[in-house]
Amino acid sequence: MPAKQKIIPTEKLKKAEVINQYTGETWIYSDTVKDHFFHPRNLLLDEPEANYFDADGMVGSPACGDMMTMWVKIDDDKITDLKWKTFGCGSAIASTSMFSEMVTENGGMNIIDALKVRPQDVMKRLDGLPNRKIHCSVLADKAFRKTMNQYFRNTGQHDRVIAEGSRIVDKQLNITDKDIEEAVLEGAKDLYEVQKKLKVGVGDPQAIPEIEQLIRFYTEKYYG
């Protein structure tokens, strides 16, 4: 038999823009999110001008989900221009548009401050995102860090390169801290929910304290 549909109150239907007909979960996008989705800032659709940008970086893959390419122009250690394009959802587009505006406004942020911009800072400027879409705000952060790493390498500033390597947390299942990060971004908030996704720590209980610490760290990082 088909799953029974959940009856959704009329007032909820009027407010929500996306509704799961079976669970009743609703997503409401702010006017700011919609503005940046329909009118994205700093979006680059054509190929970049040769030798104009100082570095570029790409994260993700269209084969497995969202993908983003980013370009930066640096002048006196400031982000004077940033362009991007993405294969991604509306939340990823709006988040990246806002991120690009934040780091280039008022003459551009210096690199140190730009690297301190967190996904929750972007979400605050967007007036929020649905919980299920918070992970989309991370795509710009990852692309920017990868782009800046290329800039640091291009300019011989190897001491400024940001280490993005992962380490194994559960040796039995070969699960890394990045796997736990992705689970938190997908909505897992505690050990039980992370284990439902990854089974991490089930066969290696000695790893549980570190797993819980990582869950707390990533929850604070992305959700404040």
Catalytic positions are 64, 136
Could you tell me the sign of the dihedral formed by the alpha carbons of 111, 113, 114, 116, in that order?
positive
36 token code pair: 């940046």
- Count other Cβ atoms within 10 Å, centred on residue 135: 22
CA distance 198 to 191: 10
Three-state secondary structure call for residue 7: coil
Nearest to 25 by CA among 132, 136, 123, 127: 132
Distances (CA, A) of 85 to 60, 107, 125: 12, 22, 20
CA distance 61 to 189: 26
Three-state secondary structure call for residue 85: strand
What is the dihedral angle through the alpha carbons of 31, 32, 33, 38, rounded to the nearest 10 degrees? Answer: 80
Q: How far is CA 28 from the centre of its chain?
A: 19
